[in-house]
Structure 1
Amino acid sequence: MIELSHIEKKFGDHTVLNDVTVTFAEGSVTALVGPSGGGKSTLLRCINLLEIPTSGRVRIGDDAIDFHPGDKVGWAAIQRLRRQTGMVFQNFQLFPHRTAIDNVSEALTTVLKWPRERALQRARELLEKVGLAHKAEAWPATLSGGQQQRVAIARALAPSPKVLLCDEPTSALDPELSGEVVEVLAQLAREGTTMVIATHDLRLASTIAQEAIFLDAGVVVEKGLARDIFTNPERQRTKRFIATLTQKPTEQEGSGI
């Protein structure tokens, strides 16, 4: 169970998240959707404290941290919570000087102090899971974007996190390559992996998410079952946003968008 309670995040005088309270059940897949600048990536990063909330509470399982303006949270508490999450970034963030298998095993040996052979075995299993066992010794520069993102997913799964956080995992890919990533995430969803995904990709969100949260201007406008949000939203603001995602390119060009 992941709970964000009354989360506020400010950058200077600018409020990016305003009193956000949401819950993510174990085994669920939730899509965070909304316009650019709406707060979805910031909310995602607040879960694993890559962004420190200005105020509110973050709970993952039995661990919780309360935040108050001006207070500094200890590094040990942040690390204890962060280690329960895995993060997949928009632009892969692979180590260019490490092979695929070393990218996946690096955190296990460096952070968790696993023996190298145990870490490599875990990495091989995960590369097999994402369909890249044959690329274990490949360098990132020789992999396609879709393959790099699949390595990044394997790396995020390596320490067996309680939740997988994905920040626009397909936005840097063309449609064919993004399909590879969607299928891997869909398989993880079928296996019961808890995921929170910030995305503009309606195909990704509608394919694998059970729940959806629509954010705009740092506020939760609407939340509910993904099929309802994407096909029959209640709020007018949500309807306008979903319409922009489902319009065909020719329709957008004809309307001057």
Structure 2
Amino acid sequence: MIGLSHIVKQFGDNTVLKDVSVEIREGSVTALVGPSGGGKSTLLRCINLLEIPTSGTVRIGDDTLEFRPGHRVATKAIQQLRRQTGMVFQNFQLFPHRTAVENVMEGLVTVLKWPEAKARERAMALLDKVGMAHKVDAWPATLSGGQQQRVAIARALAPSPKVLLCDEPTSALDPELAQEVVDVLGQLAREGTTMVIATHDLRLASKIAHEVLFLEAGSVVEKGPANEVFGNPKHERTRRFIATITHQHEHGKGGEG
């Protein structure tokens, strides 16, 4: 379904991802966890090519793109691959001058050229799915952070992407509002939505992820089924990280993305 192989990403002299390979099955939820600066957001953004890998191969469905230093990949090929993904950002990124329903419709109408009535019908159905049917005509500024993020999830799902990518979807929210978002993502997971989530929210990761990748300093330290990585990590480094984050949450401090 999704394959990243031998992904290297450099910013100048700094190598942020070092030969990372991962396979993501259709219908599965993969959580990318690890300390700040470990590379999880960069890896997520390499899947939809918001960050262009320095080298390596990205595959989504039938589309495969190969990257190597000094070789430019055609913009059209990048857009074709990116269109198969939906992206949910840490800070929502809703259009402030569009209502909730207009935010969800926007890409369908402007990019996919759907008729307005069809786009509105799809948007209303998705807002209902994320528990926001009562706020379809609300402006983003009048919504709580949790509500804005749920609208953003509906918007990302609108074009029926093959995979939903979430970059720290709960980190800008306090625990109560974060729970609304965890519940929605959990429901999507049960329905078989393929998701990759970069997060430091271990509650979110342990509740809905099937697979976990623990990244540190640009390398995959450990990967495996979520219950094994969280319940019985093989590597001392993973154990220490999970213990630290768990301790922070128990004492009321959120982790940092």
In which range does the TM-score fall when normalised by the shorter chain? Answer: over 0.9
CA distance in 2, matches of 1:174, 1:252: 11
CA distance in 2, matches of 1:215, 1:37: 9
Could you tell me how far 1:125 is from its partner in structure 2?
0.2
CA distance in 2, matches of 1:251, 1:62: 46
Q: In angstroms, what is the RMSD of aligned CA positions?
A: 1.2
CA distance in 1, matches of 2:249, 2:12: 38
CA distance in 1, matches of 2:98, 2:156: 16
Partner of 1:29: 29
| Alpha-carbon distance change, 112 to 249 in structure 1, aligned in 2, over 3 angstroms | closer
State the secondary structure of the residue aligned to 1:149.
Answer: helix
Partner of 2:145: 145
| Alpha-carbon distance change, 251 to 126 in structure 1, aligned in 2, over 3 angstroms | closer
| Alpha-carbon distance change, 99 to 219 in structure 1, aligned in 2, over 3 angstroms | same
Q: Does 1:44 align with 2:44?
A: yes
Partner of 2:184: 184
Could you tell me how far 1:250 is from its partner in structure 2?
7.6
State the secondary structure of the residue aligned to 2:98.
Answer: coil
CA distance in 1, matches of 2:151, 2:182: 14
> Which amino acid in the other structure matches residue 103 of structure 2?
N
Partner of 2:241: 241
CA distance in 2, matches of 1:203, 1:66: 35
Could you tell me how far 1:245 is from its partner in structure 2?
1.1
Could you tell me how far 1:248 is from its partner in structure 2?
5.1
Could you tell me how far 1:249 is from its partner in structure 2?
6.2
| Aligned positions, number | 253
Could you tell me how far 1:231 is from its partner in structure 2?
1.3
| Alpha-carbon distance change, 154 to 23 in structure 1, aligned in 2, over 3 angstroms | same
Q: Does 1:130 align with 2:125?
A: no
Could you tell me how far 1:143 is from its partner in structure 2?
0.2
State the secondary structure of the residue aligned to 1:169.
Answer: coil
State the secondary structure of the residue aligned to 2:114.
Answer: coil
Partner of 2:116: 116
State the secondary structure of the residue aligned to 2:10.
Answer: strand
CA distance in 1, matches of 2:159, 2:112: 8
| Alpha-carbon distance change, 40 to 182 in structure 1, aligned in 2, over 3 angstroms | same
Q: How does 1:175-254 map to 2 (within 5 A)?
A: 175-247=175-247
- Percent of counterpart pairs with the same letter? 75
Could you tell me how far 1:247 is from its partner in structure 2?
1.1
Partner of 1:106: 106
CA distance in 2, matches of 1:160, 1:65: 21
- What runs of 5+ residues in structure 2 fail to find an aligned partner? none
TM-score by length of 1: 0.97
Partner of 1:68: 68
- What runs of 5+ residues in structure 1 fail to find an aligned partner? none
Q: How does 1:161-180 map to 2 (within 5 A)?
A: 161-180=161-180
Partner of 2:10: 10
State the secondary structure of the residue aligned to 2:96.
Answer: coil
CA distance in 2, matches of 1:119, 1:192: 23
Partner of 1:55: 55
CA distance in 2, matches of 1:228, 1:175: 25
State the secondary structure of the residue aligned to 2:233.
Answer: coil
State the secondary structure of the residue aligned to 1:247.
Answer: helix
> Which amino acid in the other structure matches residue 129 of structure 2?
K
